[in-house]
Homo-oligomer: A and B are copies of this chain.
């Protein structure tokens, strides 16, 4: 089974498209949101919940999995799909981002990144070749190339150097890749500098790969800056390959990026916010710990079809949050992931029906209701 992507519908007025990825672990309809399963589990929910939610692809974190339990053990146990009993598609990142954000004593050389584990201080080297080997050992359906995500306030000199190195690393990743069932995606960096972005994207896309990603967004810039940059860059990516905007974002970010022509997203926002009691609804965001929900017999969102909204009141979710009960984390996460996955289903349907402008207008209007409730 070779990885394959097809664009099925194109929106007339925007760059949006609806498509389908074919992987060794089933098809993935795009645009798609990938729940983040950092340590071989999407925090607070089960694989049964994810299947019930209709998730078609999860993201796994190479940095975490290489440290614990280690890719060799995962491979020995039959690969990541079998290890976590997830029969559908999995994308893994390269590990690079966590090396920069979590690891200690990291050092970047031409060879790769050396670092110490944030868990036990053990020393590791992550080269482009090793990043590919780990992801192939895990059995990922989509592998991400090792890149550097340079700090957003880097000097231009360092930025240029970093981008050139990321390109050389991508060439090494492409050579190391077995061209097995897992598809290797390249990552274009460049921050908000339009010249650097375009130049690096050209370099990355000059290497023929099954898909391409934009990295280095959602790292502190204003949403409008990100939206403008993505709107400019996404159309320059190969039209016949999936386009993945890494680590993004809010519901508004997703809707705007889909209109710009992005096909894939991942973000910890729905899952992390759920555990903190921050819930996304079609009518806006709800902070379930607030006193106004204490006696509310109604569901989070009366129009939501998720397990949480079909069965439980805001008062109950408020109680679970206040008492710190584990079930609260699960019910909140089910709801937030349902919201994200349903938003993507809505966007796909709107693109297919040629109704994206109406969908976007309706989306913006309704999101105001809850925030006006205070």
Interface positions of A (Cβ within 8 A of B): 39-41, 43-48, 68-69, 73, 76-78, 83-85, 294-295, 297, 307, 311-313, 315-316, 319-320, 322-323, 325-327, 329-331
Contacts and interface: CB of A to CB of B under 8 A. Distances in A.
10 contacts: A39-B319, A40-B316, A41-B327, A46-B331, A69-B322, A73-B294, A85-B311, A85-B312, A326-B329, A330-B330
Contact of A325 (B39, B77, B323, B327): B39
Given A69-B319, A297-B78, A315-B77, A327 B85 contact: no
A51 B346 CA distance: 32
Contacts of A76: 295
Nearest to A44: B326
Contact of A73 (B84, B312, B315): B315
A77 B316 CA distance: 9
B319 A46 contact: no
B85 A315 contact: no
A325 B323 CA distance: 19
Contacts of A83: 313, 315-316, 319
A64 to B, nearest CB: 8
A131 B78 CA distance: 55
B315 A69 contact: yes
B325 A43 contact: yes
Contacts of A68: 319, 322-323
Contacts of A307: 48
A315 to B, nearest CB: 6
A295 B41 contact: no
Contacts of A84: 316
A340 to B, nearest CB: 19
A323 B46 contact: no
Contacts of A39: 319, 323, 325
User: Which has the most chain B C-beta neighbours within 10 Å: A40, A41, A307?
Assistant: A41
Given A68-B322, A294-B69, A295-B73, A85 B43 contact: no
A41 B77 contact: no
Given A48-B307, A329-B326, A77 B313 contact: yes
Contacts of A85: 311-312, 316
A321 to B, nearest CB: 11
Contacts of A329: 326
